[in-house]
Chains A and B, each alone.
Chain A
């Protein structure tokens, strides 16, 4: 297990290193000067920035400077937002995205387990059919459509009710978070429901359930103690991809609901070609995603001894 964790972490570090390198050279492939389009750029600031990043030096020297700064956790200063460092942007806006993401994952996990258990319990009866149709819809409808339509529906609902039941944009209160978190978590919830259903059906056919039934355990106890607990386990495997999906989904949902999250700044930086912000955020997101996936895999190995044995 230790060896496994070690090799995964080494692989993760290599991946992040590769991402940083690719980012650096991708930026350098772009024709033109990265400072060219920047507004509010006096010759002094320009000279300072050029000195700071060694833009007048050979590419390899620039590369080593860039890597050194990255290792020291210095992501540089935004080209378009005056006097704002990328570190500031991350520390200010990442918590917002994180709160939204955690809420979305919780919502998706609870919903997925509940609906999945329900469909397995009522297999081939109408609740199963209805929920599975909704699941396939949840998988097929893009998250920006879900977000936009839910926003539109809420606006109309608020108009009908005459008061604001749920705010449709902005950030701060818990009530602001409900709608975006639901829109963000919907597709993950749909995947989880499908996975949970299959997992429940597999577990339902296993020997230990038959044993539990044979020894006369109450049905509710079998369901909670044996079926549910064992079925939830495989769901953890999807947590890695789910975190990635929710992170990228956040880009869209934050834009639609006007949430000051990191994703929105990332998209904005890309649209404005704000090089330092793109580089910094790419490396940050890359490291975040890579290590989240590793953490999920390791946790899964720790929780489920069968996996540990297989490794």
Chain B
């Protein structure tokens, strides 16, 4: 501000003294006053008050002020680090299936017991009790005790109860909720044949979740109206063979610690976190390289069209209009087939090829517009007048002035490429299972969404967060890099 005021003073002083000149001419003794040396002004007033900033320094300062953009930058870096560096720390094999651990929710480590059927013991038949009751006692009471024998695990749960006088046999029920009345006992598992059978081993598709077992005595025809319940949470069980696969030292009854699954496991028992990491690598690979390639091509194409101009420009733009009109998904499908990728095969190459072949025109159009505009700018024309070569103008003026716009386009292109990858993998034309990508994982997660929502939710969150933060970062970069936005403040 200081400089401008000074300049104004100086320019104002000239016309004011001009009319005075004619008056003074006649009086020659006053003439010398015009040729006095100027009073030396303080140099510091002319100097710049702040150090000059380069374009990028200035942009960085602006970006830093944008809280949304900076937090997005952190989030993107975090997800990127998670995918790229994560597997160094989280060494679980993403493709290792564990059918004992199907669709488990998130957990931070648990213990399993090595068990087999024999460990649960023999069914108890009390020889002191007759097979049929000798006298009729009505109404039947509930059993006085219901207990678990040994360690309940997912191989089986051994229940034992005390005989009820007068009972002919017993029915065992299982429920995943706590029963509050006799109508809520759940699935009838088994009815004993005789009154002296006092235990039962349940091994019907057990999982490591809480169950409520109830037992009801029957009088031979009807069930009693009373029941006894017990809550049992079976421990996860490994068979001896499975445990031996990990280490040969294990024996029956040992505890074995199972790795944590912070994001749970999927329907084949694979670790979701490890799959998110490798999936992220694929998503980011496509998300970075496809846009990089087509934006590079679009920049070259648009730059040449704008710089050469004339009829060449017209034809080149006509062609890009034609490419814009081609429906992306259809060509994606065509190239998927043309590359010979059969159903269920990975389509990363056709996907990248289609993106590069079809998505460049938007960038080309943008860069061409910029170049056309820059050609008319004063500084370009001045350079031309001074005899600068085309290459010099291109390198010195065109590229530095368009790089900001191109960078912003790239930032917006990344999320849309990640989006496209997810979409294509979802409809079965991108990355194919067993390889992981966030789209594939979401697709697989949808099948089991109602029972185990975490299989869908985690990949969905990763896709959404990545796309979201790239979008916000792009907004921030546009504000920071766009010269027009700057003048508006």
Contact = CB atoms under 8 A, between A and B. Distances in A.
Interface of A: 11-12, 14-15, 18-19, 22-23, 25-27, 29-31, 136-137, 139-145, 148-149, 151-152, 155, 244, 248, 251-252, 255-256, 267, 270-273, 278, 282, 285-286, 289-290, 293
Contacts of B464: 137, 140-142, 145
Nearest to B446: A148
B177 to A, nearest CB: 14
Given A11-B321, A145-B442, A30 B338 contact: yes
Contacts, number: 124
A241 B336 CA distance: 23
A286 B446 contact: no
Given A145-B460, A148-B456, A244 B327 contact: yes
Given A23-B334, A273-B343, A285-B330, 18 more contacts: A23-B330, A30-B340, A139-B471, A140-B415, A140-B471, A142-B423, A142-B464, A144-B446, A145-B456, A149-B456, A152-B449, A155-B450, A252-B426, A273-B342, A282-B330, A286-B326, A286-B330, A289-B327
Contacts of A11: 321-322, 325
Nearest to B335: A26
Contact of A27 (B337, B422, B453, B471): B337
Contacts of B429: 270
Contacts of B326: 15, 18-19, 286
B429 to A, nearest CB: 7
B367 to A, nearest CB: 21
A22 to B, nearest CB: 6
Contacts of B395: none
A11 B323 CA distance: 11
Nearest to A255: B427
Contacts of A151: 449
B322 A149 contact: no
A142 B334 contact: no
Nearest to A267: B427
Contacts of A293: 325
A26 B327 contact: no
11 contacts: A25-B338, A29-B338, A29-B340, A140-B415, A140-B464, A140-B467, A141-B460, A142-B439, A151-B449, A251-B427, A290-B325
A184 to B, nearest CB: 13
B337 A30 contact: yes
A153 B465 CA distance: 20
B463 interface: yes
Given A19-B330, A267-B427, A289-B327, A136 B468 contact: yes
Main secondary structure of the interface of A (DSSP, over half): helix
A282 B446 contact: no
Contacts of A256: 446
Interface string B437-459: 00100110110011001001000
A2 B336 CA distance: 39
Contacts of B426: 142, 144, 252
Smallest CB-CB A-B distances: 10 pairs: A140-B468, A26-B338, A26-B334, A145-B460, A140-B467, A15-B325, A29-B338, A141-B464, A289-B327, A248-B329
Given A11-B321, A27-B337, A29-B338, A271 B446 contact: no
Main secondary structure of the interface of B (DSSP, over half): helix
B342 A145 contact: no
A12 B429 CA distance: 27
A152 B449 CA distance: 7
Contact of A19 (B327, B463, B465): B327
B398 interface: no
Contact of A145 (B427, B428, B463): B463
Contacts of B449: 148, 151-152
A191 to B, nearest CB: 12
Contacts of B439: 142
B419 interface: yes
Residue from B321, B422, B427, B439 with most neighbouring chain A CB atoms (10 Å)? B427
A102 B232 CA distance: 53
B423 A144 contact: yes
Contacts of A139: 467, 471
Contacts of A136: 468, 471-472
Nearest to A293: B325
B333 interface: yes
Interface in B331-355: 331, 333-338, 340, 342-343
A252 B428 contact: no
Interface in B131-175: none
Contact of A272 (B335, B338, B343, B460): B343
B333 A152 contact: no
Contact of A271 (B343, B419, B450): B343
Residue from B335, B423, B442 with most neighbouring chain A CB atoms (10 Å)? B423
A141 B56 CA distance: 32
Nearest to B438: A142
Contacts of A286: 326-327, 330
Interface in B59-100: none
A22 B336 CA distance: 13
A285 B327 contact: yes
B468 A142 contact: no
Contacts of B335: 26
A137 B343 CA distance: 33
Given A15-B325, A144-B446, A272-B343, A137 B468 contact: yes
Given A22-B334, A30-B338, A12 B325 contact: yes
Given A23-B334, A140-B468, A152-B453, A252 B423 contact: yes
A5 B301 CA distance: 27
A252 B422 CA distance: 11
A271 B443 CA distance: 15
